Amino acid sequence: MDTSAGPSLFPLHRCKTLHLVRHAQGIHNVDGDKNYKAYMSPEYFDAHITALGWQQVDNLHKHVHECGLAKRIDLVITSPLLRTLQTAVGVFGGDGYTDRMDVVPLMVANAGNSGRAAISSLNCPPIVAVELCREHLGVHPCDKRRNISDYQFLFPAVDFSLIESDEDTWWKADVRETTEEVAARGQKFLNWLWTRKEKEIAIVTHSGFLFHTLSALGNDCHPLVKKEICKHFANCELRSMVIVDRSMIGFDPSTTNYPGKIPSGLDLPSDVVDEKAD
């Protein structure tokens, strides 16, 4: 690897801006931080975020609005677990919900025993749940999801149409996904992003998924850049990155390029004249 290489240049329409977010503190994180075996506890099934986690959500919500990011995001993608759904709607959703016949709330009041008011879907980007960006699958009850029909009641304006099964068919009680399998699923997710027309996307997901997915990337970068890319995320941390379509996966044309010569005319470049003279 040549770490002394200069800057790289890519066409803008072959790039997407990703704003990666790890969910806010969940109830499983509190005990799990002290004792890793706590992640095996059935009481943390599909863990919801804590009161401190909601404070983290409120602070990130304030940040994305103050820095102007909230207005730039075309799409929010979230893992279909309770803690990521709560984080996604809390950070990128609208203000407090007022009962209206023409507007469906992003989150109903007290969803997941949160004690929180309902959240409006007004003036916010669409939020779509995607199974591919779930946490490391298997064995840990906190990473098993509920039925999608349960979530649809709690988060009425979130789009769950891309999830094929109501029940969780991915999580296995006795089989833990390998780190290589998580990384491969992460690559599949990144490839899927190129099927989307949106250019600036927020992704609310999990520590393990982010770490193993990002650790497989950046091998052509300086070691310090590689370290910056794949270091572990804190709860409710947001990190913005650009992904480049090196393999021509996407098909989106440029929205800013202009072909020139309108109207058409003679335009022989001077350097071509020099080459001909030589």
Catalytic residue check, 180: no
Catalytic residue check, 135: yes
Stated as kind and residue range, the H or E segment containing 78 is: strand 75-78
> Sign of the C-alpha dihedral, residues 52, 62, 197, 232?
negative
Stated as kind and residue range, the H or E segment containing 18 is: strand 15-22
Q: CA–CA separation, 243 vs 199, rounded Å?
A: 10
Do the beta carbons of residue 139 and residue 111 sit within 8 Å? no
User: What three-state secondary structure class fits 154?
Assistant: helix
What stretches of 33-101 show up as alpha helix (H) in DSSP? 51-66, 69-72, 82-92
Q: CA–CA separation, 91 vs 78, rounded Å?
A: 12
> Angle CA(90)–CA(39)–CA(144) in degrees, nearest 5?
60
Residues 6+ apart with CB under 8 A from 62: none
Which listed residue (135, 140, 177, 206) is catalytic?
Answer: 135
Q: CA–CA separation, 82 vs 105, rounded Å?
A: 16
Which listed residue (19, 23, 61, 140) is catalytic?
Answer: 23
Active site residues: 23, 135
